[in-house]
A = this chain, B = another copy of it.
Amino acid sequence: MSHSDRRLSQTDRTRHRRLREQGSEDRADLDAILSAGFVCHLGVRVDGDVLVVPTVYGSDGTTLYLHGSVASRSVVAAPEETVCVTVTHVDGLVLARSVFEHGVNYRSAMVFGTPRLVTDPQEKLAGLRCLTEQAAPGQWGYARQPSRKELAATSLLALSLDEASVKIRTGAPDDGDGPDARLGLWAGVLPLHARWGDLEPDPALPTGVEPPPHLTGRQGTPAS
C-alpha cells in the first residue's frame, strides 16, 4: 500500500465478513490503534501448533517491528510463516437491556504477513529504537544503547503493514430502539481506562538519582 492510498487493502484475510459496521478501512484508524499501544499478540505456527505470544512492538507507519531472543521459538519460526499480529485496546463494557446485546467497546488491528528477519545493522538499530521509543518515549536517548553482543542476542522482525484489518466499536448499546427498551432497565457503557501510575524507583538506586522529565511527565496520563 502506498502512503497516498489512505484506504486499507482488501484481501481474503482482511475483508470484513461479519459486523461490517465495526470494520474500518481507514488507514488513519490503523495508525491510531498501533500508536496507542506497545504490546501485541503474535500468532504463529510453531511445530504445527498455534502459539499466541504477547510481545512488545513498534510501528513507524509502514512497518511493524517485533523483537525477541534469538532463542525464542516464536521469533525463530515467524520468518518462515504467515503470522497474524493483533493489537487490541478495550475501552469499556456495553451494558444492554438483553444479555445477547452485551458487548465490548474496543479498537483492534490485525496485521497479516510473513515477517522479515532484519540483519542490516543500521536497520536493526533503527527498528529497536522505534520499538523502544513506542513503549518508553525518551528512553533510547537516555538509557545505554545496545552493545554489539546485545544486538547479536536480539532478533528483530519486520512485518509490513500492507495487509491489515481494523475493527472498532464505540458508543451505546444497540437495543435502545428495540422492544427491550420497554423493559425499564438501565443501559449504557462502563468505560475502562488505562493510565500510567506513579514511578516506582528501583530499590537498588542510590539516593539522589532523580527520574528524567520524559518519565515524570507520563505519570497519571492515559496509556492507550
List A residues 178-206 near B (Cβ within 8 Å).
Answer: 180-181, 183-206
Q: Mark A15-56, 1 if CB is under 8 A from B, else 0.
A: 001100000000000000000000101111101011111101
Which candidate, A58-66, A100-108, A116-124, is the interface stretch facing chain B? A100-108
Q: Which of B112, B173, B186, B219 contacts A49 (CB 8 A)?
A: B112
Q: How far is the CA of A186 from the CA of B213 in the complex (A)?
A: 11
Q: How far is the CA of A33 from the CA of B72 in the complex (A)?
A: 23
Which of A97, A147, A190, A196 has the most CB atoms of chain B within a 10 A radius of its CB?
A190
Q: Which of B82, B128, B195, B209 contacts A184 (CB 8 A)?
A: B209
Which bracket fits the contact residues of A?
A: 35 or more
Q: Which of B42, B73, B205 contacts A187 (CB 8 A)?
A: B205
List A residues 65-108 near B (Cβ within 8 Å).
Answer: 69, 71-73, 81-86, 88, 90, 92-93, 95-100, 102, 104, 106, 108
Q: How far is the CA of A192 from the CA of B200 in the complex (A)?
A: 11
Flag if A201 contacts B188 (CB, 8 Å).
yes
Q: What's the number of copies of this chain in the assembled complex?
A: 2
Closest 3 pairs between A and B when the two form their complex, measured CB to CB: A176-B204, A191-B197, A43-B52
Q: How far is the CA of A54 from the CA of B104 in the complex (A)?
A: 10
Q: Which of B17, B100, B215 contacts A146 (CB 8 A)?
A: B100
Flag if B192 contacts A194 (CB, 8 Å).
yes
Smallest beta-carbon distance A13→chain B, Å? 6
Flag if A135 contacts B102 (CB, 8 Å).
yes
Q: Mark A159-173, 1 if CB is under 8 A from B, else 0.
A: 000000000000011
Flag if A188 contacts B202 (CB, 8 Å).
yes
A-B contacts, 27 listed (Cβ < 8 Å): A12-B47, A17-B71, A41-B43, A41-B52, A41-B88, A43-B51, A45-B50, A49-B82, A50-B83, A52-B86, A97-B143, A97-B144, A98-B143, A102-B132, A144-B185, A181-B204, A186-B205, A186-B212, A186-B215, A187-B201, A187-B202, A188-B201, A188-B202, A188-B205, A190-B196, A190-B215, A192-B196
Flag if B128 contacts A99 (CB, 8 Å).
yes
Q: Does A223 contact B (CB under 8 A)?
A: yes
